[in-house]
Amino acid sequence: MRIVAMGSSSTAGLGNVVAYPARLELYLRKHFKDDAHLDIRIDVSNRGKGGEDAPQEVARFNDDIFADNPSLVLWQVGTNAVFRKEQFDFDNVVEKIVEGLNLLRDRPTMDVILIDPQYVTAMLFDDNAELSEKMIEAIRTAARDAKVNLFQRWALMRHWHVYNNASFEQLLAPDDELKLHQSDWSTMQVARTLRSAILTATGTIQKCPCLITT
């Protein structure tokens, strides 16, 4: 089974933090290896590029997604439209998210999970908090309208911070002056929860609350 992970630096990985696609591949391979009744090989291809958002990512779909003909596409999107708002037109990014989902939906052999932004300090600075919430809602609407799955990374990490007392120091990568990138711990937890969401879709485990399914 081939999975392609499309996105920006959250997908590509940064510094000494192991990116979520590599962790996800490891967790899924272990699950299916431990089940003697299953003979499934999992390959997760990392197609993340730092600094990009939907306009650049959709332009890479042919080469970086469709050429691989994956069974599942994970698309992490929306962060840079907020964090680098001077470089991106918000409405254009949302339009490109919709366009990208329509292109993916036209490939009936591919399942899709859309992943919204990370809940970190940089996304809450000044007017970024309001823009972040606007992006979260736009992504939710786009996923609903396209009838694709939505992995709620923002809500998941916010829950850790608000209800589980996880500090931003715990959520953020050490020495990240941008206050944008996830720590090794939070990346690991996201990958584990995403693993559970995918296994939920296969009927292997009980429902994962962080995944809104079609």
Tell me the pTM: 0.93
How far is residue 19's CA from residue 39's CA, in Å, rounded to a whole number? 26
How far is residue 80's CA from residue 165's CA, in Å, rounded to a whole number? 26
pLDDT, tens only, 66-91: 999 999 999 999 999 999 999 999 99
Please say whether the dihedral angle defined by the alpha carbons of residues 93, 60, 68 and 187, taken in this order, is positive or negative.
negative
Quickly state the pLDDT bin for 23 (edges 50, 70, 90): very high
Contact 127, 121 (CB under 8 A): no
Contact 54, 100 (CB under 8 A): yes
Token pair of 46 as six digits: 């990392």
Q: Is the pLDDT reported for residue 214 higher than 50?
A: no
pLDDT, tens only, 78-129: 999 999 999 999 999 999 999 999 999 999 899 999 999 999 999 999 899 9
Residue whose C-alpha is closest to residue 188's, from 5, 49, 12, 26: 26
User: Is residue 153 helix, strand or coil?
Assistant: helix
Quickly state the pLDDT bin for 29 (edges 50, 70, 90): very high
pLDDT, tens only, 158-207: 999 999 999 999 999 998 999 999 999 999 999 999 999 999 877 665 55
* H or E element in which residue 132 lies: helix 128-146
Q: Is the pLDDT reported for residue 54 higher than 90?
A: yes
Residue 207 has a pLDDT of 54
Residue 78 has a pLDDT of 98
User: What domains lie within the chain, and their CATH numbers?
Assistant: 2-212 (3.40.50.1110)
Q: Is the pLDDT reported for residue 63 higher than 90?
A: yes
